[in-house]
Chains A and B, each alone.
Chain A
Amino acid sequence: MLHWIQYIRGYVTIKVWGYSVERLLNLCGNHDILVWEIEDHGDYHTMHISIEGFFALKPLLKKTGTRVKVLHRYGVPFFMSKMLARKIFVAGLVCCILFWCLTSRFIWDIRIEGNLSLTEDVLLDYLEERGIHTAMKKSDLQIESLEQALREDYDLITWTSAQLKGTTLLIRIKENDMPVYEAEEQKESSQGMDLTATRDGVVTYIITRKGVPLVAQGQSVKAGDVLVSGAIPVYNEDTTVRKYQFVEADADIILRYGKNITLEEAVAYEEKIYTGETIGIPVFGVGEKALTFRFPGIPYDYYDISEEKSQVKLLDHLYLPLYYGKRTVQEYEIAIKKHTDDEMKVLLQARWDKIIETLEEKGVQIAKKNVTIKKNEEKWVLTAGLQLEEAAVKRRPSRIVQTPQEDASEQTAE
């Protein structure tokens, strides 16, 4: 403590020599001048003395016939005068401290832990919507309400914890491990649902679980035709419809239909041959704007441009809107070439396989196929006649509507 006070007020180390150092010490004591760490070096003594003490020492030196020399200066007053000589350094130091004080009031990083099925992007977007993003003020953040909102807006999240660690916002969540069953929506059955065909075809298979089938196996239908009605009529004794019971029609129905596919593949093709000539252009970007060092012009007839850009980032998540990279211009020449028969086969086969694959992905089965390939000098043409089978049905609200008048009249009849 005493040491700190001495340091703040400033002190010097002096070398004292001459006739009687002891007498000088006595005088110092009498004049209330504090000296400490007095050491005897034979010819001379060294001691520490405060700045005020040093200035009060002059008359005493004369009296005792001793001489003094300052060896070292310590303390804040000397430090300050040293610092004042380095104005820019001090200004930089002050700016630096201010900068730290200022930036530590913002959130510079958002980390999310514990999310398994909710991706970080989803959660970050959600936070952004709530006005929580990097470079926001810490004081604007309401942790309690954020935790609550996360739990309320995502059913999957069962527990949340948000905390500020320095300038990092750490959000820890726990997702529900148990599967979430959504309550099956009970539809009001005031109106039935029909099954209708989505395309023209022939019914090859029909099994009805709910509703009234209106078509039979082998019957041709048109797109939009009702296949299974969701309105089940309840008949009177005279076979007139008394009322309808509405259900959601459910049935396995397969429609068969024909489809023609034509694929053309030209024998001649253009090939890019890269000449190996390239130009690299450095690119720098700030925000949306990119800055490139332009050349007077690209001296190639045909060229590809590719660009690689990297973003400057601090920490793991904080990206600065600064980009740097390289734009590469590659020259090529066009050569006209012809595919060989084997190549043509492979090309067509690949395209054909892709079509079949997409059909199968949609749940379409191929009942029959008839494929022919016609070749000539310029191109190969693949023609295929397919017989496809597909559950091409769609649910649609029933067109039959219960009229309340009927109900009323029946009630009076009863």
Chain B
Amino acid sequence: MESLKLPKDTMLGAAIVTVTGNREALVENYKGILEYTTESIVLQGKNARICFEGKNLSIDYYTNEDMKISGRIDALRYL
């Protein structure tokens, strides 16, 4: 597995979360959205749920592959 040097996200189906400061987050490789309010956004990954908590959260765009969250992110938790 390691020796093939394939990207881990494709192989494991793991979600990639890129957080820029506490203002912006880019999420790739997720299954769906479970909850969306201005205080929290919960996403379903393959193995875990990803929970963003903060204030004035909004989704800039949302497609099958990736999504972008903006607002003030206070915490990022895996449930």
A39 contacts the other chain (CB 8 A): yes
Compute how far the CA of A56 lies from the CA of B45 in the bound complex, rounded to whole angstroms.
26
- Which of A36, A40, A42 is in CB contact (< 8 Å) with B62? A36
Residues in chain B near residue A26, CB distance under 8 A? 32-33
Interface positions of B from 29 to 79, Cβ below 8 Å from A: 32-38, 57-64
Q: Which residues of B are in contact with A by a Cβ distance under 8 Å?
A: 32-38, 57-64
State how many residues of chain A have any CB contact under 8 Å with chain B.
18
Interface positions of A from 16 to 41, Cβ below 8 Å from B: 21-22, 25-26, 28-30, 32, 34-40
Evaluate contact between B32 and A39: CB separation under 8 angstroms: no
A45 contacts the other chain (CB 8 A): yes
Evaluate contact between A30 and B64: CB separation under 8 angstroms: yes
Evaluate contact between A39 and B58: CB separation under 8 angstroms: yes
Taking the closest CB of chain B, its distance from the CB of A155, in whole angstroms, is 74
- Please name the residue on chain B nearest to A29 by beta carbon: B64
Evaluate contact between A38 and B36: CB separation under 8 angstroms: yes
- Which of A21, A22, A34 is in CB contact (< 8 Å) with B63? A34
Compute how far the CA of A279 lies from the CA of B45 in the bound complex, rounded to whole angstroms.
95
Evaluate contact between B35 and A22: CB separation under 8 angstroms: yes
- Please name the residue on chain A nearest to B30 by beta carbon: A29
Residues in chain A near residue B36, CB distance under 8 A? 21-22, 25, 38, 40, 45
- Please name the residue on chain A nearest to B66 by beta carbon: A29
Residues in chain B near residue A25, CB distance under 8 A? 32-33, 36, 59, 62
Whether A40 contacts B61 in the complex (CB less than 8 A), given A26-B32, A26-B33, A29-B32, comes out as no
Compute how far the CA of A45 lies from the CA of B37 in the bound complex, rounded to whole angstroms.
9
Could you name 22 residue pairs across A and B whose Cβ atoms are closer than 8 Å? A21-B36, A22-B32, A22-B34, A22-B35, A25-B36, A25-B62, A29-B33, A30-B64, A32-B63, A34-B61, A35-B61, A35-B62, A36-B59, A36-B62, A38-B36, A38-B58, A40-B36, A40-B37, A40-B57, A40-B58, A45-B36, A47-B59
Residues in chain B near residue A34, CB distance under 8 A? 61-63
Evaluate contact between A38 and B62: CB separation under 8 angstroms: yes
A-B contacts besides A36-B60, A39-B58, 7 pairs, CB < 8 Å: A21-B36, A22-B34, A25-B36, A29-B63, A34-B62, A38-B59, A45-B36
Evaluate contact between A40 and B38: CB separation under 8 angstroms: yes
Residues in chain A near residue B34, CB distance under 8 A? 22
Residues in chain B near residue A37, CB distance under 8 A? 58-61
Residues in chain A near residue B35, CB distance under 8 A? 22
- Please name the residue on chain A nearest to B68 by beta carbon: A36
Residues in chain B near residue A39, CB distance under 8 A? 58-59
Taking the closest CB of chain A, its distance from the CB of B71, in whole angstroms, is 10
Residues in chain B near residue A38, CB distance under 8 A? 36, 58-62
Compute how far the CA of A25 lies from the CA of B64 in the bound complex, rounded to whole angstroms.
10
Taking the closest CB of chain A, its distance from the CB of B9, in whole angstroms, is 17
A185-202 contact mask (Cβ, 8 Å, vs B): 1 or 0: 000000000000000000
Residue of B34, B35, B61, B62 ringed by the most chain A CB atoms within 10 A: B62
Evaluate contact between B58 and A29: CB separation under 8 angstroms: no
- Please name the residue on chain A nearest to B70 by beta carbon: A37
- Please name the residue on chain B nearest to A40 by beta carbon: B38
Compute how far the CA of A104 lies from the CA of B49 in the bound complex, rounded to whole angstroms.
64
- Please name the residue on chain A nearest to B58 by beta carbon: A39
- Please name the residue on chain A nearest to B34 by beta carbon: A22
Compute how far the CA of A26 lies from the CA of B30 in the bound complex, rounded to whole angstroms.
10
- Please name the residue on chain A nearest to B65 by beta carbon: A29
Taking the closest CB of chain B, its distance from the CB of A304, in whole angstroms, is 82
